[in-house]
Amino acid sequence: MRGGTSRAVFFKKDDLPANSDTWEALFLAALGSPDATGRQIDGLGGGVSSNSKVAVISRSADPQYDIVYYFGQVAVDAPAVDFAGNCGNISSAVAPYAIEEGLVSAVEPRSSVRIHQFNTDKLIIAEVRVKDGTFDESGDYAIPGINGTGSRVTLHFIDPGGSITDKLLPTGNVEDILEDVPGVGTVACSIVDAGNPLAFVKADDLGIDIRDFSLFAEAQMKRNLEAIRARAAVMLGCAEDEEKASKSSQAVPKIAVVSEPVQYRTMGGETIDGADADLLIRCMSMGVLHKALPGTAAICAAGAAKIAGSVVHQVSAANESEHGVLRFGHPSGVMEAASEVEQRNRSFHYRRATIFRTARRVMEGNLLVPADLF
């Protein structure tokens, strides 16, 4: 399934071995990891983190939900599958898949599917179009990074704060000053956990011209960003030290560089005017610049923008729209996300986030893996 700007291999839970301890090896074989060449040529992975994902779907036994969705981020060059967080883009394909597989009833013209996101133990409500008893993927909604158009999938992430750490602000601070970061020195960082945990830093603080995508591919810059991300991982309790964080917690947290909006050219050559976005964001995923924006990063950034004093708020507050919808200028274009955040005394509560995606089934059939995995 293609969901948003990502792609994943979807499995029905009933088709997998009953012993879930075997799933990691099965998913690695299915996607062709680890592959030192970064191509995943022996499986269905796409050689980049956004196309190296799996989703396991089942009916929910809990009447609060319709579907249970379990997500796995498969490393490309390492024998690892990270089950710690969620993928917002792949979330948009869950309801279409469940409807097409007959796991939920299809109600025309629109179905609302209550998804239990198992990794984060959160509720996602997906609204999708239905025609002739199945998901209607045709429509006129376009998202940057995907050719053509499709029907709009609306995702409401309910109470998305504290997806991994149980706290919207895991350190208790809207901004932390990280000292003695290798290759960086001292840098201001906001660590926010909503949808998925992210560490936000300002482009100006790192001396980055956010319009230049090539900077994010330079070895030293990648080391600097990883050093900040690894420090944040330790602060979140994801790893004992920064070295272990770079090995065992590659997907959580992600790191994003943000900036006030300025005119820039997308990877596809389109010019985005400064007035067309409320802030610019560049997100690293598994050590590589994401060519668009992870859905959970948009959720997290939209919430962070409502937290006064955060790094994201500092670069976006003056440009935020009246209706709570934030426009993120990313490498492929502009993405919107809406957020509802309440301030309660000195704390913040993230009530709801909403993003809009498209999805479609790319292929179906039999995927072959070594028999001994069963």
Mean pLDDT of 190-198: 95
Mean pLDDT of 173-199: 96
pTM of the model: 0.90
Instruction: Write down the pLDDT at residue 247.
Output: 87
Q: What is the mean pLDDT of the chain?
A: 94
Question: Could you report the per-residue pLDDT of 92-108, keeping only the tens digit for each?
Answer: 999 999 999 999 999 99
State mean pLDDT over 85-91.
94
What CA–CA distance (Å, rounded) separates 199 from 191?
4
Which domains does the chain carry? 2-152+359-373 (3.10.310.10), 176-337 (3.10.310.10)
pLDDT confidence band for 320 (50 / 70 / 90) = low
Confidence of residue 141 (pLDDT cuts 50, 70, 90): very high
Q: How confident is the model at residue 344 (pLDDT cuts 50, 70, 90)?
A: confident
pLDDT on residue 346: 79
pLDDT greater than 90 at residue 321: no
